[in-house]
Amino acid sequence: MGDRFDRLGARHANVESLLRRPGIGHNNGPVFDMSWGAWVWRRASAEAWKAPKPEVARMRVKRAERLGITYRELTSSLMDSGAHLGAAVLPLSLAARVRRGPLDSYGHREIIIEPRNSIADLVARFGGRLFILGDIDAVPAMSDEERAGFLALLNRAFDGKIEAIGWGHDGAAIRAMLKANALPHQEAFLVGSGIGHHLLGEAAGLPFTKDIDTWLA
């Protein structure tokens, strides 16, 4: 009877990704045993995390503070890719509530953007380049003209802090948005909430995803 039920086929698409994810605190290195490979890994890790010159450390601390991340996150990203972080990607659904207003005399319903109070405060403090990923269905029946003017409308609500908006819901949409703005994906991180956003950041090849509850904390 058991062979009549495809357990693997019934799994959600994210399950396999979750099963392959290492545990908390794992850095994808070898098992810490007495082998030669483990010894080489420990030596290389210690060398990489050796304290830099004071002026370099101060510069990194200031950059991390502007971006709302930790010194270790900034340094780890630099060592992994050689790229300097300078931008964040924030999903529109986390940044604001978007809805349509009542019908006017011309039969048109304007788009209304209501920033989430706590996020608006964080965006105001952020000192890097900020990009928004908007779900294609964020506003029902949005015309091409409305989508073209959406960034200006969004910046009225966020005091001009947003550089660009990309439309989509996957890693490819993030990569396309960053590429269109001449920004290597290694220089941006995702601000998100939950495992879904972590998987989204991984799919886009971003260095890491910063939990919104600890962003600029």
The domain that contains 106 carries what CATH number? 3.40.50.1000
- Same domain, yes or no: 186 and 105: yes
Q: Of 16, 48, 81, which one is at a domain's C-terminal end?
A: 81
pLDDT tens-digit map of 157-194: 999 999 999 999 999 999 999 999 999 999 999 999 99
Write out the residue range of the structural domain in which residue 73 sits: 32-81
Specify the amino acid at residue 21.
Answer: R
Domain identity same for 93 and 77? no
How distant is the alpha carbon of residue 135 from its chain centre? 14
Q: Which residue has the tokens 């392959």?
A: 20
Q: Which residue has the tokens 């290694």?
A: 186
Label residue 8 by pLDDT band (50, 70, 90). Answer: very low
For residue range 118-130, what is the model confidence (pLDDT) as tens digits?
899 999 999 999 9
Residues 101 and 187 grouped into a single domain? yes
- What total of structural domains would you count in the chain? 2
d(CA 70, CA 215): 9
The answer to whether 111 and 100 have CB atoms below 8 angstroms apart is: yes
In this structure, are strands 109-115 and 188-192 parallel, antiparallel, or unpaired? unpaired
Q: Has this prediction a pTM greater than 0.85?
A: no
Q: What integer pLDDT is reported at residue 193 of this predicted model?
A: 93
Tokens of 79: 């060592």
Q: Is the pLDDT of residue 1 over 60?
A: no
- The torsion angles phi and psi of 109, rounded to 5 degrees, stand at -115, 110
| 186 within some domain | yes
67 and 95 fall within a common domain: no
